[in-house]
Amino acid sequence: MKVLAINGSPRVNGNTGAALKVMTDELERQGIETETIQVGNQSIHGCTACGHCSTSAGNRCVFTDDCGNEVTQKMREADGFILGAPTYYGGMPGPMKSFLDRALFSSPTYFRGKVATSVAAVRRAGGVDVLHQLNNFLNLAQTVTPPSQYWTLAFGMNRGETAGDGEGIQTLVKNARAMAWLLKLIDAGKDTLPYPEDEPRILTNFIR
């Protein structure tokens, strides 16, 4: 089994990366393979709602000159994934938002039943909003989210400061441990109790 960690920070070795490493280290201790991919330092087109991905082969996005299609495909192939982002004005950075808009819009059924979670790095308080933003994507993608003891936040301003957040680190470890448990549980039961059958989506527009 494999989990893909998506780093939405422009800093490769910043606090978001450190938080993700805490989680991937625990997953690997639990026997889960991991891979971390940096998207926050990339130039990524935003979604233009052109609809190309709904008809293209493999539901690929029309933009082919950035990492969007490649990373989205890795997410589809993984058994689970982690979304990580720092806090910019109470929200995630633009490149991460642009990537997730395209990844999720082009993959309306690919992530059903996958195990996924999120983590935010924050100096003080805005990280809860970042988690809500990230978790909105996870909820709409119909993923299964593992529990923990608190919001999955890592506090720190300067590089490396999250290591001093004892409660935050414990929270991330518990979340990753629960993620590994869910992955194994789903894998063990998928043959005897498959995911509920899907059905065509009903879209109700309120403007007539």
* pLDDT tens for each residue of 62-72: 999 999 999 99
Note the pLDDT tens digit of each residue in 175-204: 999 999 999 999 999 999 988 998 998 989
Measured CA to CA, the distance from residue 206 to residue 66 in angstroms comes to 36
Q: Are 174 and 181 in contact (CB under 8 A)?
A: no
Record the pTM. 0.96
**What CATH architecture does domain 2-189 belong to?**
3-Layer(aba) Sandwich (3.40)
Measured CA to CA, the distance from residue 10 to residue 40 in angstroms comes to 4
Give me the phi and psi of 6, to 5 degrees please: -105, 115
> Which ranges of the chain does DSSP label H, i.e. alpha helix?
15-29, 68-77, 94-105, 127-140, 166-189
The CB-based long-range contact list for 195-199 (8 Å cut-off, 24+ gap) reads 195/112, 195/113, 198/109, 198/112
Sorted by where each begins, the domain ranges of the chain are 2-189
Is residue 207 scored above 90 in pLDDT?
A: no
